[in-house]
Amino acid sequence: MEVVNKPTISFEYFPPKNEKLAQTLWDSVPKLAAFDPSFMTVTYGAGGSTRDNTIDVATQMHEKTGIPIATHLTYINTPRKELYALADHLWEKGIKHIIALRGDMPKDLNWPLDPDADYFQYTSHFVAALKARQDFEISVGCYPEKHPDAPSLDKDIEALMKKIDAGADRAITQFFFDNNLYYDFLEACAKMDIKAPICPGLLPIHDFSSMLRFASTCQTTVPDWLVEKFDAVKDNEQDAKKLATELLIRQSEDLIKNGVNHLHFYTLNKCAITDEVCSALGYQAKAA
C-alpha cells in the first residue's frame, strides 16, 4: 500500500529488566528509528518501579537516534514535590514530551486519597501542573472501551475532556482489534467537543497467549474471529507471525483509509512485525 499523505508514526518501548532484554531493545530501536517516527516513548513501571531505568533508556534513545523521546510519568501515590523534581530533571535531560498517566492503583491504597495530602488526585490536575512547570508537550491515555476503573464510557470521555482542557496535546488509545470501536469512540468524543488528536494505539501480536492475558487485564475485547485465526496457527511460529503481520497491516490500512493521521505502535521492544507493517504501508527506512 503506497499512501501519498502517510500518517506520522510513533513507537513505544519499555525499560529492559536484564541484559538479554536490553539486547533485544537496542537491536530494535535503530531499526525502527530508521522509519523516522515523530517520537518514541518509554514506559514507567507501576509506582515508579523503573523510574531511573526509564530516564536512562529515554536519554540513550535520544542520544543514539536524535528522535524526540517521550517518557511515561505516573503520579499515583507519589508526592507532588517528587514529581516536580522528576519533571525538571527530564526537561534538563532534553526530554520535553511526557505521557501523563495516573498509573496502576496499589491494592492497599484507599481512594480517594487524603485531600490534605500532597498528592495529585486526577490526571487533569497533573497535566495542568506539568504545563505550568515547563512547556512540556503532553500526551494522555484514553480507552475506546473505557478504562477498567471508569463507571461508564461517558464518564471516561468526560475525564478525557478534562485532561485535554488542562493542556494535553493529544490522547493515545489503549490497543484494540476492532476498528469500529475506535471510530465509535471518535464520534462520541466529537459529540463532547474534544478536538485534540486521538491517536490509535496498535499492538503487534508476538505471543497470542500473552496478549490474551494483557487484554483481560485491560478489559480489551478480543474478537472471536481473531481467536479462531490464531488457534489455527498455534503450532507454527512462522505462520503465527505472518498472520499477526497481515492483520496489523490490514488494520492500519483501514485506519489510514478512514483519515487517521497518526499511528502509535506498542512494539514490546521488538522490531519484527512492526518493521514489516511500516514497510508495507509505504514507509521507507533510512540507511544507517
Task: Tell me how crowded residue 151 is: count the other CB atoms within 10 A of its CB.
Answer: 9
62-105 pLDDT, tens digit per residue, is 999 999 999 999 998 889 999 999 999 999 999 999 999 998 77
Whether 63 sits among the annotated catalytic residues: the reply is: no
Asked if residue 207 lies in contact with residue 272, where contact means CB atoms within 8 angstroms, the answer is: no
Give the start-end residues of each E strand in 195-234: 198-202
- What proportions of the chain, in percent to the nearest 5, are helix, strand and coil? 45, 15, 40
**What does the pLDDT read at residue 276?**
98
224-277 pLDDT, tens digit per residue, is 999 999 999 999 999 999 999 999 999 999 999 999 999 999 999 999 999 999
Domain boundaries, the chain: 8-280
**What does the pLDDT read at residue 230?**
98
Bridge partners (DSSP) of residue 70 are: 41, 97
Whole-number Cα distances in Å, 115 to 18, 166, 248, 259: 39, 20, 44, 43
Band (287; pLDDT cuts 50, 70, 90):
confident
Annotated catalytic residue, options 2, 12, 137, 187: 12
Class of domain 8-280: alpha beta
What number is the average pLDDT over the span 12-34? Answer: 95
177-199 pLDDT, tens digit per residue, is 999 999 999 999 999 999 999 99
**What does the pLDDT read at residue 105?**
72
In a 3-state reduction of DSSP, which class is residue 94? Answer: coil
213-223 pLDDT, tens digit per residue, is 999 999 999 99
Inform me whether the pLDDT recorded for 46 exceeds 90: no
Rounded-to-integer distance, Cα 45 and Cα 39, Å: 20
